[in-house]
A and B are shown apart, each in its own frame.
Chain A
Amino acid sequence: MTLFKAENLAINFGGVKAVDGVNFDIKKGECFTIIGPNGAGKTTIFNLISRIYDSTDGKMTFDGKDITNAAPHDIAGMGIARTFQNIELFEHASVLQNLLVGRHCHSKTKLLSELLFLPSVRRAELAHREKVEEIIGFLDLQHYRDSLIMNLPYGVRKVVELGRALCTEPKLILLDEPSSGLNVEETKDMSFWIEDIKRDLGITVLMVEHDMGLVSEVSDRVLVLNYGRMLAYGTPQEVQSDPEVIKAYLGG
């Protein structure tokens, strides 16, 4: 079953066609990876899906709904969560607060009741905390609950960001280079977590990744982009042996 579908997706920045007529669909429960050389338009596609950019052409459908013109802050509530290439955590807040912000799209309390901290707000906060604790357990973040992000090493921040995305209880999670800046061991952990997210939590994964080892380990299908255009589309093995892809990566 198709969860997400991009049809003829395009965006121009002035004369630059960053993404140019890209078509793909993501099936429920799979891990779909976008690869390509630097500047190929991978992160731009992420920004189009999370509606930070307005597409110049094309259509995006998620879970049967057209999200081409949805408001960027409604995307999380619909079930799409994301992480960022250069970690965008809330630096001056604790890990716990960061994860609780991930619950924001599920909070329904009104401002007035929050000012008075009525019992309903307290109950909602405790319920959010339970959910957050599930994720903390899942990602082994117990030690860091009360640490401020700015005092944490890069590897841990990466995991916290993944956790924050999971706290929104997404159907589709967008991971922008989950292994960048991680050492071999941390990359290994990341690949297990991606497997677990897919299998145990039943969340569909869309990721951008450069580490081909990780890509072939966890992805079901791969899309290769170059200069905003689709180059190849298929299983990791098929894509890696595609002559066009080899040409784009190695030149010649």
Chain B
Amino acid sequence: MRFLFKTNYEQDIKIAKHSGYVWSYAALLVILLAVPYLLDDYYVGQMTQLFIMAIAGTGLMILAGYTGLVSLGHAAFFGIGAYTEAVLSGNGVVLPFMDEPIIFSFFLSFPLAGVFAAIAGVAIGIPALRLTGVYLAIATFAFAIIVEEVLSRWESVTNGYSGLLVESIFLGDMELTDGLPFYFLCLGVLIAVILFSLNLLRSPTGRAMMAVRDSEISAQSMGVNLAKTKTTAFAISAGITGLAGALFGHKLGFLSPESFTVLQSMELLVLVIVGGLGSLHGAVFGAIFVLALPQGLAILKDFLPTALAEQPGLEPLIFGLLLIFFIIFEPMGIYGRWLKVKLYFQMFPLYKKSTFKRQKSYMKSERLK
């Protein structure tokens, strides 16, 4: 068991609370830097996909986990990010007074993808100010359907259901959007997004978000501007998800509205709930869950008797069951379990099962009041 001896206020502000953080995250970083050289191309691609989902998860976590606003429409921001990136860096924007369309460099179109998604976030955030819980979930759900329709009908820009090719990005001779360089790009963006989120959460705006989540009325009485805080949360969340969408577009190489349906929104929501609402770890754990589980099930199938393995609907069944078990037995998600395992080893052999008993309460956003 580690006892922290605090001698100044800086210690409570620091991201790395003690030396353990420094070496364990440094070790994780070293592993992540070494992994692509040791694994097959296929697994490098899967890891890249994992980073992209974790970025999107972090975006939704800020909204659902920290501000208590449940969104069932995050695929919309994901899609807006992807299409913005594809259009700006691909066909470019045709302006009436110019002969050639303007094609943006990746380093401009990528942030713009985030900005456009953030603007869409504000657009849905403002009418959503009066809604909470299930009603907000329905409103965001409707918004996602509208965006999906726009993506499929606005054929002059998005090419509708025929799909839109996403141009690869070259940096000199190196293809940035494939293989190793893309792996490192996504890892870099993920780390940056997590660091920005950690900074946000330890400063006044982040605290205001948590205040809004736990009690709107007292947040207001403490001087928190509800409208501003909620809109900011929507903008940041949508912006981050938009960035993930832009990367996702390059990963797919080909966009069609079918990639950004309600199912995708559901998957993101499952990601943050299973990962653990109200923790950034949860976003990463959740991403591992939604990506690794189908893979694991596919591998598992090889070991099952043929009659069972070829049964249709086996995968959704197991996926659904696991989800139900998580909600019942581990409302804090994988992160909650992680904390328990960590404490078990810290306290060994004195760990008491009842330590977490009182904390088995639900987050407000989870309760969908």
Distance to closest chain A CB from B78 (angstroms): 21
- Interchain CB contact (< 8 A) of B203 among A93, A96, A114: A114
CB of A100 closer than 8 Å to a CB of B: yes
Interface members, chain A 125-146 (any B CB < 8 Å): 125-126, 129-130, 133
Contact B361 A91, beta carbon cutoff 8 Å: yes
- Interchain CB contact (< 8 A) of B10 among A75, A115, A126: A126
Distance to closest chain B CB from A200 (angstroms): 23
Contact A104 B232, beta carbon cutoff 8 Å: no
Contact B221 A82, beta carbon cutoff 8 Å: yes
Which of chain A's residues have a CB closer than 8 A to the CB of B13? 122, 125-126, 129
* A77→B220 CA distance, assembly (Å): 11
Which of chain A's residues have a CB closer than 8 A to the CB of B363? 92
- Interchain CB contact (< 8 A) of B208 among A84, A104, A126, A130: A104
CB of A89 closer than 8 Å to a CB of B: yes
Which of chain B's residues have a CB closer than 8 A to the CB of A111? 205, 232
Contact A92 B210, beta carbon cutoff 8 Å: yes
Q: What is the interface of chain A, defined by CB distance below 8 A to chain B?
A: 50, 52, 71-77, 81-82, 84, 88-93, 96-97, 100-105, 107, 109, 111, 114-117, 121-122, 125-126, 129-130, 133, 148, 150-151, 164, 168
Question: What are 20 A-B contacts with C-beta separation under 8 Å?
Answer: A52-B221, A71-B225, A81-B222, A88-B217, A89-B214, A90-B218, A92-B363, A93-B207, A100-B207, A107-B204, A114-B203, A114-B204, A125-B13, A125-B202, A126-B9, A129-B13, A133-B9, A150-B358, A151-B358, A168-B222
Distance to closest chain A CB from B367 (angstroms): 12
Which of chain A's residues have a CB closer than 8 A to the CB of B278? 92
Which of chain B's residues have a CB closer than 8 A to the CB of A130? 9
Interface members, chain B 188-203 (any A CB < 8 Å): 196, 199-200, 202-203
Nearest CB in chain A to that of B66: its residue: A92
Contact B203 A102, beta carbon cutoff 8 Å: no
Q: Please judge, given known A-B contacts A88-B218, A91-B361, A92-B278, whether A101 and B200 are in contact too, CB under 8 Å.
A: no
Contact B12 A89, beta carbon cutoff 8 Å: no
Interface members, chain B 340-369 (any A CB < 8 Å): 358-359, 361, 363
Interface size, chain B (Cβ < 8 Å): 35
CB of B215 closer than 8 Å to a CB of A: yes
Contact B221 A50, beta carbon cutoff 8 Å: yes
Scoring B13, B203, B225, B278 by chain A CB atoms within 10 A of each residue's CB, the highest score goes to B203
Distance to closest chain A CB from B193 (angstroms): 10
Which of chain B's residues have a CB closer than 8 A to the CB of A50? 221
CB of B20 closer than 8 Å to a CB of A: no
Contact A101 B219, beta carbon cutoff 8 Å: yes
Contact A89 B218, beta carbon cutoff 8 Å: yes
CB of B211 closer than 8 Å to a CB of A: yes
CB of B316 closer than 8 Å to a CB of A: no
- Interchain CB contact (< 8 A) of A74 among B214, B215, B223, B232: B223
Contact B221 A75, beta carbon cutoff 8 Å: yes
Distance to closest chain B CB from A107 (angstroms): 4
